[in-house]
Amino acid sequence: MRYVEQEKVIKRMNGRLVVNTIFKGLFMAATLLALLALVVLLYRIITQGASHLSLDFLMNFASRFPEKAGIKAALIGSLWLMAVVAPTSIILGVGSAIYLEEYAKQNKLTTFIRLNISNLAGVPSVVFGLLGLTIFVRAFSLGNSILAAGFTMSLLILPVIIVASQEAIRSVPKELRDASLGMGATKWQTVVNIILPAAIPGILTGSILALSRAIGETAPLIVIGIPVIIQFLPRGVFDTFTALPIQIFDWASRPQQEFQVVAAAGIIILMIFLLIMNSIAVIIRNKFQKRY
């Protein structure tokens, strides 16, 4: 007596192989389409803006004449902005994740907080701009300063960093925690010496992705009233500034073709900025992955 009919098995396997081939082709086509769009975009930006890249472009302030327009104020302003956003968002984000994962009681309130943090990660950036305008610009009277913009951008990326840090902390094996506590270490010593070093690769990945989003956002800066053109460099966190996304947006919105070239050159500078940030994160992540 045959328990398996060979013909039915072959027929079903052939059908599954056909479906597998179809979906494999669809997924490959989707990947190639995305890569093609990226390559076309990079090619257009590089070919259009590379000719305008020069030392003068980096050292000049913005101008109504495209041949004299530079990105000095926007570049320095973005560095100031990241100097506020990075420590504020990473310290608050990682600290919140540690509390929620290691110290908070697992109850309905904690679940509610986690759910809302995940939902905040998908809120449009302009909403955070309105929040920053209400709290930091008007209520705290910070105006359109670096500090107000930095706090606003920190609110924008804070949910992303918290969620990424929580996932990284959860991925640390429970055996490491138990071994540390069994050797007499306190909860805080276990967190600092065992959990955080092992979770740093995942935390860094999420943090750099979040900071990359912050440095490229324009809507919150527009809402809180960051100026487009300034002819001076900020000297402190309470000074007015401009940033790369604002400057690029202004150049791209102008009708003159020459300013489109200037905008493309600004985009290249912004991409180099992002590549440097991601490279640093990869180096640090690889260093800790070798240890743990």
Provide block-wise average pLDDT over 10 residues at a time, the chain (292 residues).
65 82 93 93 88 88 86 91 93 93 86 88 88 92 91 93 91 86 86 88 87 88 88 89 90 87 90 84 73 55
Give residue 1's pLDDT: 43
The predicted-structure confidence for 114-143, as pLDDT tens digits, reads as follows 888 888 888 888 999 999 999 999 999 888
Residue 289's pLDDT is what?
Answer: 67
**CA 238 to mean position of chain CA atoms:** 24
Q: Give this prediction's pTM.
A: 0.84
Cα gap 147→12, rounded to integer Å? 64
Q: From CA 190, how far away is CA 181, in angstroms rounded?
A: 7
Report whether 274 contacts 212 (CB < 8 A). yes
User: So what's the pLDDT on residue 2?
Assistant: 55
- In percent, the amount of the chain with pLDDT more than 70 equals 97
Give the model confidence (pLDDT) of 146-174 as tens digits.
999 999 999 999 999 999 999 999 888 88
- The three-state secondary structure class of 171 is coil
Instruction: Say what the alpha-carbon torsion angle 238, 151, 208, 226 is, to the nearest 10 degrees.
Output: -60
Rounded CA-CA distance 140/127 in Å is 18
pLDDT of residue 36: 95
d(CA 120, CA 124): 9
183 residue type, one letter = M
**Interatomic CA distance for residues 44 and 65, integer angstroms:** 23
Question: pLDDT tens digits, residue range 183-209?
Answer: 888 888 888 888 888 888 888 888 888
- Reduced to 3 states (helix: H, G, I; strand: E, B; else coil), residue 253 is coil
Give me the pLDDT at residue 114, please. 87
Q: Are 259 and 70 in contact (CB under 8 A)?
A: no
Angle made by CA atoms 239, 243, 246, in degrees to the nearest 5: 125
The CATH architecture annotation of domain 57-288 reads Orthogonal Bundle (1.10)
